[in-house]
Amino acid sequence: MLTTQQADYLRSLAAPHVADAEGRRTPLTHLARRCRTSPRESWPGLVAAHYARSAPGPGPQALSARELVEGVRLRLLPEDALDPVPATTMSSVRELADGVLLALVLDRPGGVGVLTDIDVRRAGHDALVDAALARLARLPVEHEEVSTASGAVLHFLTADSPFTAGKALILGDVVRDLTGAELPDEGALVAMPHRAEVVYHPIVDGLASDVLDHLQAYVAGAHQAGAHPLSPRLYWWHRGDLVALTEVDPRTGGSALRLPAELRDLLRGMHRLHRAGRLAGRAGTDAAVDLPDLTRATARSVKSLPEHPEALAGTFAQAVALAHAACGQDPRAADADTWDAWATATQLGSALFTGTHPLICQLGEDVLLSVPACPAEPPADARGWLDALYLALVCRQQDRIAWLCRVPLAALRADDTVDAYVLHWIDTLQTYFTVGAVCVPDKLLAALETSVPEQAGRAPGDFVTMVDRPPVALFHRLVTKDADAFAEALADAVAQHTAFWGDSDAPRSRVALGALAMACVAHDQGLPVDAGLPYLPRYLVGGERVEDIP
């Protein structure tokens, strides 16, 4: 931190203050950090003030209960900071997570020391913890955001204090105070490589999977290089608890990531949602789309299918994005080009899941595209199947609806990135459109009961509540033929869609696809549908734009 000349000068300033050190090493790390950012002429004052604060004071046993409460702090310590046997029996120390101890300490001019059981009994454990948490909340920290190559954002909380790492205990409150945003229910990846730093990444999108190795590598390096190392592990902050994600070999010191099943399933599910552009306000999913560019790109993808039939799934996803994006410029779906986008997406969706003879797609007046014949080999993509069915319902494709409902549910159950409610919902729709409403109630009830965040583990809670569940609730009102309840549920579905996407320009923000599909079915069954609701293109709801599709 200092040049040789600066270090010699600092030692000369410190020497008179440690004359009675009796040969013990006296670290100057803290002083070096402060001096390197201060003018040289201020160094004598900084050194004198430092040692004045460090002058011995009365021990804990000489303090009253009130003085103990006024001086108590929460501090994170490495797992080997205390002798293992006393640490397990002290009421002031507990294991916070693998590799980290949480201790009640006394912050006095003479230094920081762990409170004894006598101290804890004298002041009261709860009173000490409450006071220490309040003091931790008031500790100021600097907040810096750093973007990785993948676009993921790492947040750094730093302060020149031995108590900074304790901010991980109250991370939700800290994030709210610093950014005005709440940590997601899914939590955050967190690390405390040394006592003066907390690093975190909120789990808000599929990039959390990409950042795992990057963050673990940073933590390992920062732990080795830090003046006061704390933990080389990566943790999952979830509902106020820290769960270690890094397994350290005590013999070799080597480490490896070991994710609990709950987090592994969540990250896999979010990664797929993120790649499909289904998450709101997440990096890479909310940028504005250039409609002509997306149209040309989709046309190129369709043209390449004869040589690359394996790209059909990606081409279908691109066509779905185009259909949504077209309604950004044409929210009523009044234009022929908008209809072409919806028709093409419908053709590709049914082709992907049910196979097809050779067919012709159209994107614009003069753009006719050939799609080769393909076998019925439905991929394990449950939400992709829902997209295909929703499109067929909107475009009134009765044959394609029937074909899609014959796709074996077992093939879609192989999609291990979705929660159980998605498969219950698919089972409900397949039953309704093949057998009728008589066999639906039990299946619909299962979909409703499981489409809540508490039952889900592979999708974010807000996505479950605001995107996936509204079509299920709408279908419930549709099969009961309750016009008023359906109208209320439809307005709520649109409100949920609006709240989820906010001001995002992502393609999927332009249309509430599931709600639109249910509105089209309701319209055709004679239920009144409010034509003025946003995100439900009126000429698709009413069928005025619907044409024959090859």
Q: For residue range 230-253, what is the model confidence (pLDDT) as tens digits?
A: 999 999 999 889 999 999 887 777
Residue 358 banded pLDDT, cuts 50, 70, 90: very high
φ/ψ of 362, rounded to 5, equals -130, 130
How many CB atoms within 10 Å of residue 420?
A: 17
Sign of the torsion formed by the C-alpha atoms of 370, 376, 378 and 379: negative
The pLDDT value given to residue 49: 81
Which spans in 405-525 are helix H? 409-413, 420-434, 441-450, 461-463, 469-479, 483-501, 513-524
The pLDDT value given to residue 366: 79
The pLDDT value given to residue 233: 95
Q: What share of the chain is helix, strand, coil (3-state, %, to 5)?
A: 55, 15, 35
Q: For residue range 429-474, what is the model confidence (pLDDT) as tens digits?
A: 999 999 999 999 999 999 999 999 999 999 999 999 999 999 999 9
How many CB atoms within 10 Å of residue 241?
A: 11
Task: Report residue 236 as tokens.
Answer: 């999952």
Q: For residue range 17-29, what is the model confidence (pLDDT) as tens digits?
A: 876 655 555 667 7
Q: Are strands 153-158 and 197-202 parallel, antiparallel or unpaired?
A: antiparallel
The pLDDT value given to residue 148: 86
Q: In the predicted model, is pLDDT for residue 263 greater than 80?
A: yes
Q: How far apart are CA 381 and CA 68, in angstroms?
A: 60
Q: For residue range 178-235, what is the model confidence (pLDDT) as tens digits?
A: 999 899 999 999 999 999 999 999 999 888 988 998 899 899 899 888 778 999 999 9
Q: How far apart are CA 458 and CA 450, in angstroms?
A: 12
The pLDDT value given to residue 21: 53
What's the whole-number average pLDDT of the chain? 91
Close Cβ partners of 20 (under 8 Å, ≥ 6 residues apart): none
